[in-house]
Structure formats: structure tokens, C-alpha cells
Amino acid sequence: MKNLRKIKYIVIHSTAAFTKSNDETPFHYLIERNGSIVKLLKENKISSAVHADNSTCIHIAYIGSADKKGQLMDGRSSSQKHAMFDLIVSLTEKYPQAEVLGQSDFPDVKKASPGFDVKKWLREYEPDLGIAA
């Protein structure tokens, strides 16, 4: 099915930032600890993860973690990092105008999700070409 939405953002999240009180499926994709990518919501459907901008977003979450005080941290496994990078590449090829951001990059969001600086990580990430798709 053709996506009729204009996608302006690909948004990265950590599951540790969400509770049961949130929408049951606030993400389009979920990256499991072993790097498996699970599609939770069709891309033509609007999610509910960043409020005002949801109609223009594709949401990716990784199974994340928080410290003992509840602060989000970058607990991604190397498999998750690789899968995330591959998924971002795939989505930016599909939506070349889309900007990749962390949930916390949106001004109306008060959460520290995804627990790392997405733009910095993308600039510095070096894929393991031995396992690249």
C-alpha cells in the first residue's frame, strides 16, 4: 500500500521511556535486543509518540534501559545498533526528505528518550561491514 503521508521525521525512541498508560503501539518498528526488527504499525498509520508532529513521523524504538534512578541510558546492544543503522538507511532511502531525530529533539517532549544523541551517533557510527546486509 502506498504511503499517503508526507514523512518529515524518522524518530528514534527507547522503550524505557514508555509506560502502559501510553498508546499500546506508539511505534512503527521495534528493535529487539538481538537486532531483530519487528514491524508494529504500518507506515501509513499515524502513531502517538511525539504529539504535535505524529502525522509526519515514522517511529523506531529499541528495547531500551534505564538506570536505578529511572534515567534513560544508551543500553543498545551492538546488534541493535547495526539493525537501527540499517533500518534508518532503508527509511531515508524511502523518505529522502526525512530528518532523523531522537524523541527528545522535539520541543514539546520532556523525555530524555532515546538515551543518546541520535545525530551525533549517526555522524560517528561505523557499521561492521562483515555483518552488513
Q: Does domain 9-124 have CATH number 3.40.630.10?
A: no
Q: Looking at the predicted structure, is the pLDDT value of residue 18 above 90?
A: no
Which residue has cell 518529515? 8
Query: How far are the Cα atoms of 14, 68, 70 from residue 82, in angstroms, in the given order?
Result: 16, 27, 26
At 29-50, the pLDDT tens digits run 999 999 999 999 999 999 877 7
Stated pTM of the model: 0.87
At 107-133, the pLDDT tens digits run 877 778 899 999 999 999 988 776 555
Among 43, 54, 46, 59, residue whose Cα is nearest residue 101: 59
C-alpha cell at 58: 515514522
11 vs 103: CA distance, rounded Å? 6
